[in-house]
């Protein structure tokens, strides 16, 4: 069941400039796997911008700031993105109780956008026992 939705858009050029001015941002904002994925591309900036947008969109879906290194955009074997959330960020998103994320990323030369849906687990039939209807 859809609990909440987050969306974020990033200007790729501004993000490229920020990374050039402060190279340590990569290590602060992105996991090793994310950096390896992005740096593998001829122009890594749109890929970094999309992943940053995904982390911001996930925070909006959860309703609070999440720790950068605890939220990771993972590229599945088929190329689709997914969101892995660990630590306190997973606790805040209620992942232990079955909450999960759906994610969509897109980018052009100018913009990167991400949409993240937070889904709560479907209630089981036993959850409704004893409820008069």
Residue 69 within any structural domain of the chain? yes
Dig out the tokens for 108 from the structure: 């052009």
Asked whether residue 133 is domain-assigned, the answer is no
pLDDT on residue 124 = 56
In a domain, 102, yes or no: yes
Distance, CA of 101 to CA of 116 (rounded, Å): 7
* CATH code at position 64: 3.90.470.20
| Tens-place pLDDT, residues 69-112 | 999 999 999 989 999 999 998 888 888 788 889 999 999 999 99
The tens digit of pLDDT for each residue in 7-48 reads 999 999 999 999 999 989 999 999 999 999 999 999 999 999
d(CA 38, CA 50): 10
Whether 55 and 49 have beta carbons less than 8 Å apart is answered as no
Range of the domain at 99: 2-128
Q: Is the pLDDT of residue 132 over 70?
A: no
Distance CA 85, CA 99 (A): 11
The total number of structural domains that make up the chain: 1
Query: In this predicted structure, what is the pLDDT of residue 126?
Result: 53
Q: What angle do CA 69, 100, 51 make, to 5 degrees?
A: 40
């Amino acid at each position: 069941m859809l609990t909440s939705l987050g969306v974020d858009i990033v200007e790729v050029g501004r993000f490229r400039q920020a990374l050039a001015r402060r190279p340590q941002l990569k290590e602060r904002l992105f996991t090793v796997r994310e950096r390896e994925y992005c740096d593998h591309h001829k122009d890594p900036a749109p890929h970094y911008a999309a992943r940053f947008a995904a982390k911001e969109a996930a925070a909006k879906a959860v309703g609070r700031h999440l720790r950068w290194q605890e939220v990771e955009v993972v590229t599945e074997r088929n190329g689709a993105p997914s969101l892995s959330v660990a630590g306190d960020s997973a606790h805040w998103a209620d992942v232990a109780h079955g909450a999960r994320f759906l994610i969509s990323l897109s980018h052009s030369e100018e913009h990167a956008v991400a949409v993240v849906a937070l889904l709560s687990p479907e209630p089981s039939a036993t959850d409704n026992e004893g409820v008069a209807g």
